[in-house]
């Protein structure tokens, strides 16, 4: 068990899925949640929402830290299901639907920066725990198994080679119709984001001791989901 162990009373099973971007984590989590009838909590969307709101401020570069802390402490964030929209799990900030606005490269980089600020992480911790404590929840992020739910019932740490992750990201960008950058640019961004996420002082990206590690480089998404589902069912 991790040193930072905190007993969080849960109303039902909690599954923690951590790992860097591009490992198939989000899609696998969404599918597992649907198949198992669990609530899907995309904690990255919370950091992205803060990043987006900071960028909307007049001169975000002047004091990014103060601005991010201010936003994180005052904003009301919530998820809502919307069966007629894709993705169905929508994120709202003070009642405003940000779902389609938080996936741009600029928000991605700003989310990574704001996620290294301890006060921002602290402000989002209670919300993540409340969402998970309702039970039958799968939370995906970077520190779910280590910090948010050290006592999660099943923990996974997904990984994949940088080349494979860059390839997947490029396909996603092309499918989204955006002006796709080169493979080398995408790869450099991934390396930079990994470095930021794994070297920050608070809650860095790392595998919990008791997490199941899964390298998805050579696996299809169907294989990833099937492997994880089998392990979850065996353990719950």
Residue ranges in contact with ligand DC by CB under 6 A: 21, 43-44, 47-48, 111-112, 115, 141-143, 193, 197
Residue 100 or 230 with smaller CB distance to ligand DC = 100
Residue 153 or 172 with smaller CB distance to ligand DC = 172
Residue 111 or 211 with smaller CB distance to ligand DC = 111
Least gap, CB of 43 to ligand DC (angstroms): 4
Residue 5 to residue 13: CA distance in whole angstroms: 17
Least gap, CB of 102 to ligand DC (angstroms): 8
Q: Can you say whether the dihedral through the CA atoms of 128, 4, 116, 175 is positive or negative?
A: negative
Least gap, CB of 208 to ligand DC (angstroms): 13
Least gap, CB of 220 to ligand DC (angstroms): 21
Residue 30 or 48 with smaller CB distance to ligand DC = 48
Count CA atoms within 13 Å of residue 160 on its CB side: 22
Neighbours of 104 (CB within 10 A): 16
Three-state secondary structure call for residue 103: coil
Helical residues (DSSP H) of 148-218, grouped into ranges: 162-175, 183-199
């Amino acid at each position: 068990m991790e040193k930072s162990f905190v007993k969080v009373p849960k109303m039902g099973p909690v599954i923690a899925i951590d790992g860097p971007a591009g490992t198939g984590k989000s899609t696998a989590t969404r599918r597992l949640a649907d198949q198992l009838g669990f609530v899907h909590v995309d904690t990255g969307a919370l950091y992205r929402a803060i990043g987006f709101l900071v960028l909307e401020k007049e001169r975000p570069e002047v004091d990014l830290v103060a601005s991010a802390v201010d936003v994180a402490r005052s904003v009301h964030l919530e998820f809502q299901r919307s069966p007629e929209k894709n993705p169905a799990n929508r994120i709202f900030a003070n009642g405003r639907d940000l779902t389609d606005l938080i996936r741009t490269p600029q928000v991605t980089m700003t989310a990574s920066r704001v996620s290294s600020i301890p006060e921002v992480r602290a402000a989002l911790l209670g919300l993540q725990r409340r969402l998970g404590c309702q039970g039958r929840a799968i939370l995906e992020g970077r520190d779910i198994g280590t910090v948010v739910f050290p006592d999660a019932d099943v923990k996974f740490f997904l990984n994949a080679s940088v080349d494979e992750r860059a390839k997947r990201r490029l396909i996603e960008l092309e499918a989204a119709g955006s002006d796709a950058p080169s493979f080398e640019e995408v790869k450099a961004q991934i390396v930079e984001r990994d470095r930021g996420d794994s070297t920050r002082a608070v809650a860095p990206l790392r595998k919990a001791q008791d997490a199941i590690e899964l390298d998805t480089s050579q696996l299809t998404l169907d294989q990833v989901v099937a492997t994880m589902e089998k392990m979850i069912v065996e353990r719950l």
